[in-house]
Chains A and B, each alone.
Chain A
């Protein structure tokens, strides 16, 4: 409770507007799937998916910073929360996706078959 609490109403609505706009953009892209983005490949994923993931992280940032009020917390609390999450999630995702891709390759190119 140590922080200054002048009314944040204006900022709340601003963030809501931002989150809405990002969601609308996501849905628009998701429905239309522009060929120039969808048919590309960057690090085993198409650019459209990268855009979705980046927009999701943007949304996550605003939810955590504005709604969960991390921007008003002390920076050591803030980074004790965000640091481990970012590190562990990236680590986990990296390992599992690389492994999943490897298993796919094994099934595809060797004698095993999962589907008949």
Chain B
């Protein structure tokens, strides 16, 4: 017990060691130190996101239109449901964690182990969900055009629904080659060639009089401005690149920084979840081996519990600022 849980000095000699400031053991206090500093790191990221968003407030993408996928519901617009599910999974794994801590106080080894296992499973499900979310984001849904000035032009029909490039792009008889390492003199790969060339998209657009371009600008109704046909054709003259999905340089949903922040913040959070799961697994094995049973104290479970709840707490904020606000 002495190794991890220091006992409170009860003999009144404050300076003789073994004292616990603020009534928290050393390990717990250090976990709180870490959590506070990490919370400030995350708030720095989220505040930076807020900065960029306020800076480009007129052109920022609408999250509802970006994250619309749900497993097994192809083509159905389901904004938010999936992230809501992810939130539930994480909150629930937080509940099992706190139940494990609770059982630990009562020294119920089996119960602790079971709840820890459930927490780990929850963590893995969350990580898988996040991977799926990233996959959809990277893959994109409709495709768009980037202009010389770097703004994103999306295509919509008369009803204002987005139209995928595949639905209208012309097929021009031109050979485009994906440059790969083995094809060149230099061992460098070219940029990934998109499915359609700019010319094909422009030709296809001209051939379909029903199509319009939707710009990044938000109008008074807080919707993206749809240009008239003439404006659209004019705007399309500046077309430079075909953008499909998202990467760190550009994304088809709108402002470049949106994808950057999304990948960085959810990635950093996902990394925390991953570390949390790994630590939970270590503690789980220690529980099974009876390490804490021998110490007669499950404080280690409490400490990783703090970390795990913190990860949940961060997700609550990420959920709000990326998907809701």
Contacts and interface: CB of A to CB of B under 8 A. Distances in A.
A97 B49 CA distance: 9
Interface in B192-211: none
The DSSP consensus for interface residues of chain B is helix
A38 B309 contact: no
A12 B51 contact: no
A99 to B, nearest CB: 6
Contacts of B58: 104, 108
Contact of A12 (B99, B238, B306): B99
Nearest to B222: A38
Interface residues of B, number: 68
A53 B47 contact: no
Contact of B299 (A1, A16, A30, A80): A1
Contacts of B151: 115-116
A104 B54 contact: yes
Nearest to B313: A63
A111 to B, nearest CB: 16
B98 A12 contact: yes
A7 interface: yes
B325 interface: yes
Given A12-B99, A16-B95, A81-B32, A68 B309 contact: yes
B312 interface: yes
A27 B320 contact: no
A34 interface: no
B59 A77 contact: no
Given A81-B32, A85-B36, A26 B324 contact: yes
Contacts of B150: 115-116
Interface string A57-72: 0011001101111000
Interface of A: 1-2, 5, 7-9, 12-13, 16, 19-20, 23-24, 26-27, 29-31, 38-39, 44, 49, 52-53, 55-56, 59-60, 63-64, 66-69, 73-74, 76-77, 80-81, 84-85, 88-89, 92-93, 96-97, 99-101, 103-104, 107-108, 114-116
